Amino acid sequence: MPTHCVAFWNLENLFGPENHPPRIDWIRTVVASDLRGWTENLYRTKLGQLAHIISKMNNGAGPDILGVCEAEDRFVLTDLAARASELTGRQYGLVHADNSHDQRGIDTAFLYDIAAYSVDPDLIFNHFVVRRTGTRDVLQATFRSLLGNDLVIMCNHWPSRSGGTMESAGFRATAGETVGYWHERIREIVGADASILAIGDFNDDPWNDSLMINANAERERGDVVRARSAKFYNFAWEYLSFEAIDHRGDPRRLHGTLYYGADGNVFDQILASGPLLDNGNTAFKAVNGSARVEALPEMVDHRAGNGPRRFGLPRGNAASNVDPTGFSDHFPVSILVTETGGTEV
């Protein structure tokens, strides 16, 4: 009975170095001040820090599938996949759809073990989140296992709270409606037994309307299992508070996947469709109690409310704004999914 580790991580501004040749002209203009002093050496150090954490996930085996966001382009993702492959012994492939709509030019993507899954290019979709100004889209891919079973995953990075939480709430409601709509459409096309995960940085907490109402992401498992309509169970409710060990070896009770000052938010979440929860005949099942925040000791920074130790960008002054021992301003999250049957392909 194979077990699959599916994870998500906001990489915190994984941009190529200051003079990155493939950089799109308009992005070059937007990020010029942030990347002044972002040298090739800093970029390679950042890649190494990210790959180190990826290699520690899943009990040191690395995740089978990793959704990511805040990556500039396919070039930096290829570099990251290569470093992660070196450290894990896996061979990570990419699912990426360029998102030219985002105002900062940052994309969502998947890294996945090509020895364990195949991905049909015709089943990769970049769902537009329609609003007046550019924003991140929702990346969907279908991962077919060696047993011939399909796991559909949507990778999300919803609009930020820039400008105010309430003022920007409508943008995330629109993103939630987009996910809810495509959840229904997948069920109509693939069937009600489709195994679907929606993972990502939602820039809202599990109790916000964008998740609970617009995306139909519930707190109660039973309500999702019994539902005849498209509902998700939000596993983030299971890790709202968790114990981690900081880099000094001290236990810490943490309350978020990212921190602003000393205040934690649980923006990084894992949503699962009903068939992943019930006892029916579907091939994939989420492992109860396996959803977790991957807060490795070296990532926990007691100086910042015990939040993630971020790497940062120079913004013209690398000495004060970059911590080369850091990683990201978000902790990764992960879940285990077992596979109970199928025909080997």
Quickly state the pLDDT bin for 163 (edges 50, 70, 90). confident
Q: Where are the domains of the chain?
A: 3-339
Quickly state the pLDDT bin for 316 (edges 50, 70, 90). confident
What architecture is domain 3-339? 4-Layer Sandwich (3.60)
Residue 342 pLDDT? 58
Residue 127 pLDDT? 81
User: Using one digit for the tens of pLDDT, what is the confidence trace for 61-92?
Assistant: 999 999 999 999 999 999 999 999 999 999 99
**pLDDT mean over 211-224:** 97
Percent of the chain with pLDDT over 70: 93
Residue 266 above 70 pLDDT? yes
Percent of the chain with pLDDT over 90: 72
Quickly state the pLDDT bin for 42 (edges 50, 70, 90). very high
Residue 241 pLDDT? 86
Give the torsion sign (CA, 266, 268, 272, 273).
positive
Query: Which of 46-50, 134-138, 165-169 ranks highest by mean pLDDT?
Result: 46-50
Distance CA 100, CA 106 (A): 8
338 vs 30, residue with greater confidence: 338
Residue 345 pLDDT? 46
User: Using one digit for the tens of pLDDT, what is the confidence trace for 189-201?
Assistant: 999 999 999 999 9
Mean pLDDT for the chain? Answer: 91
Quickly state the pLDDT bin for 136 (edges 50, 70, 90). confident
**pLDDT mean over 272-288:** 89
Distance CA 34, CA 23 (A): 14
**pLDDT mean over 112-134:** 84
- Cα dist. 196→87, 185, 232, 238, 329 in Å? 29, 12, 9, 19, 27
Tokens 């693939």 found at? 190
CB atoms within 10 A of CB 330: 26
Residue 50 pLDDT? 98
- Cα dist. 295→56, 159, 332 in Å? 11, 24, 7
Quickly state the pLDDT bin for 129 (edges 50, 70, 90). confident
Distance CA 313, CA 320 (A): 10
Model confidence, pTM: 0.95
User: Using one digit for the tens of pLDDT, what is the confidence trace for 222-263?
Assistant: 999 999 999 999 999 999 988 888 888 888 888 899 998 778
Phi–psi pair at 271, nearest 5 degrees: -105, 135
- Cα dist. 22→26, 27, 73, 74, 268 in Å? 12, 11, 9, 10, 30
